[in-house]
Amino acid sequence: MRRKGFIVTALINRAAGTFGESPASGLVCRNCGATFPLGAQHACFECFGPLEIGYDPERLARVTRADIEAGPYSLWRYAGLLPAGHNPLTRVESGTGMTPLIRADKLADRLGFTAPLWVKDDSANPTHSFKDRVVSVAITAARELGFTRIACASTGNLANSVAAHATRIGMDSIVFIPSDLESAKVTQTAIYGGTLVAVEGSYDDVNRLCSELSETDEFESTAFVNVNVRPYYAEGSKTLGYEVAEQLGWRLPQQVVAPMASGSMLTKVNKAFKELVSIGLVDALDYRVYGAQSSGCSPIAQAFADGTDTVIPVKPTGIAKSLNIGNPADGPYALDAVRSTGGAMAHVDDEEIRAGIQLLAETTGVFAETAGGVTTAVLKKLVESGQLDPSRETVIYNTGDGLKTLDAVSDRVQPTATIPPTIKGMRAAGLL
């Protein structure tokens, strides 16, 4: 037994390899700067502000391009820059990450770009949205922290990802969604077999219920990925920034456009770019971050337009349900990321979102869910209004798969013709 234990330890040490220990040093309040030890805590004891992971800059700076390139072909190649998963044996590896960065020349032509335009296509993740990134990190942290059950409040994609990851590693899951979600997202969650609770209310109601539940004794050993382990969850989005830089040959793009629900993902892409510069993995560059919302739920874009830091909650409507968070937790931080880099925000209505899905599909072969339609339509709008410069290299993030929201566009397109199986039929339809 001792011998076996020794071998396992040696394997862990070897597999952890060049990454060594976690670079995370503690939890830091984003509001007042107070620091706390690492653990399942999300609000500051001093001011109730949101906590995020703080890092030891020296440990981050030890990570080299060669370490990353020698790592797995998944988001875990960046384990040296993440707060969980240093031990490959506790890491939840679902093959998430390293999604395609597609050069979108035809879309660039249509919108008048003279610089390269790229689509980072995160629909290629295992459950077909970017949420697999945040869940990979959150569920790994939950396991390392000793939780036995995993939970979330979801606008749809998070539900898919949590249920799939939990069953893969043999953990129980309990997922909470608003009861009016797209049927594809309900089915794609329920099929994995965990507990799925449809709540009669909006996402903001679901989120409030989950916050209350997380304080109860019955949920003591349950990790809510976007509530009590949210600081870990949020860091998973940094990998969307790291990957774009690595895929561009270790450099930053000049402009990025990201969709916003809570605003978390956008702030973490910015955090990732800043980290890469500060540890010397890429050259500094004056990049600009742009944020996209739907007109049915645009509290952050509205605050941007009004020139204020105060995000006024709204009651969401419209087809971009995955982005329908009316009271966005990271709104002020998203505003700061966009304003401090010289970017902008915009919102688009349901008709523009449908047209955006179709434009992206026709020009790139990427079929996006409504959130990707929001991002594409906002890109177009920002170019047309002169707020986004088409002579600067730009990356847009497609965060989910069109098959999840088919109804949004199913009446926009049909077969070119329906014919009998004959040459005559082809002629009659004008196709020959």
Ligand X SMILES: *Cc1c(COP(=O)(O)O)cnc(C)c1O
Spatial separation of the C-alpha atoms in residues 405 and 321, rounded to whole Å:
9
Which of residues 241 and 263 has its CB atom nearest to ligand X in the complex? 263
Nearby residues of 421 by Cβ (< 8 Å), 6 or more positions away: none
Q: Exactly one of 260, 269, 335, 377 binds ligand X (CB under 6 A); which one?
A: 260
Q: Does 262 bind ligand X (CB under 6 A)?
A: yes
Q: 418: number of CA atoms within 13 Å, CB side?
A: 2
How buried is residue 100: exposed, middle or buried, by Cβ count under 10 Å (0-12/13-18/19+)?
Answer: middle
Nearer to ligand X, 241 or 400 (CB): 400
CA 306 from chain centre, in angstroms, equals 26
Stretch that binds ligand X, among 37-45, 129-137, 412-420, 423-431 (CB under 6 A): 129-137
Decide if 259 contacts 293 (C-beta within 8 A).
yes
Segment interacting with ligand X, rule: CB under 6 A, options 19-27, 81-89, 261-269, 337-345: 261-269
Q: Which stretch binds ligand X (CB under 6 A): 125-133, 282-290, 347-355, 416-424?
A: 125-133
In the bound complex, what is the minimum distance in angstroms from residue 61's beta carbon to ligand X? 27
Q: Kindly state whether residue 96 participates in binding ligand X, applying the rule CB under 6 A.
A: no
The CB-of-49 to ligand X minimum distance in angstroms stands at 18
> Tokens 């240093």 sit at which residue?
86
CB 176 to ligand X: min, Å = 15
281 contacts 65 by C-beta, under 8 angstroms: yes
| Range 369-408, binding ligand X (CB under 6 A) | 369, 371, 399-400
Quote the CA–CA distance of 401 and 310 in Å, as a whole number: 32
Which residues in the 312-351 window bind ligand X by CB under 6 A? 322-323
- What's the closest the beta carbon of residue 297 comes to ligand X, in angstroms? 11
Give the count of residues interacting with ligand X (CB under 6 A).
17
- By CB under 6 A, residue 259 contacts ligand X: yes
Q: In the complex with ligand X, which residue's Cβ is closer, 59 or 128? A: 128
Query: CA torsion 43→178→351→297, rounded to 10°?
Result: -30
Among 131, 288, 354, 380, binds ligand X (CB under 6 A): 131
Q: How far apart, in whole angstroms, are the C-alpha atoms of residue 33 and residue 8?
A: 39
Nearest to 417 by CA among 426, 405, 409, 404: 426
CA 249-250-254 angle, to 5 degrees, is 95
DSSP one-letter code for 235: H
Q: Token pair 């809570």 is at which residue?
A: 262
Pick between residue 86 and residue 133 the one whose CB is nearest to ligand X: 133
To the nearest whole angstrom, how small is the minimum distance from the Cβ of residue 65 to ligand X?
27
Q: How far is the CB of 129 from ligand X (least distance, A)?
A: 5
Which of 265, 276, 338, 361 lies at the binding interface for ligand X (CB under 6 A)?
265
Using CB under 6 A, list all residues that contact ligand X.
129-131, 157, 259-265, 322-323, 369, 371, 399-400
